[in-house]
Structure 1
């Protein structure tokens, strides 16, 4: 990946959303636990404890998704071994001179 890693940034909206969802989930769980006197309904506990990390992971995957497709970051290199690209490059240089 080299220096491309520093040119590409994660999706900041999704990253911020993941942080907000995670913190909100923890706060909601603590508030529900405190309001119910230390005993939460199992459905509510399950929704909070499974929903919060699941949504956080999905948002993190969205935020860092561009790192999975590094082949799309690279620009066309002139020293490639593909004949058609070299032909096209040679033709475009010839066309610019005339």
Structure 2
């Protein structure tokens, strides 16, 4: 059982214990806590997904070009622009923290 779980996690590192490991590897009924403890014993503890940069160089250049054109161009009525400094704006949904096994 431990080898099957370890093999699946190494093949698919972004899989979570709730959604995939329990459903795909075992024909037995096992709780997610048991799977997590077994993964901890074989040195595969849960981790958070890696954070990626919000903007790359091309995106920064395009945003700067847009801002210069918008600010120096003629004023348009009815156009509202939300200027943010790489901050995250959530209009819908929730920010959910997910731990993955790597």
Confirm or deny a common fold (TM above 0.5).
Answer: no
- The answer to which structure has the higher helix fraction is 1
TM-score category (smaller protein): under 0.3
Larger radius of gyration: 1
Q: Relative contact order, CA 8 A, sep 6+: which one is greater? A: 2
| TM-score, normalised via structure 2 length | 0.27
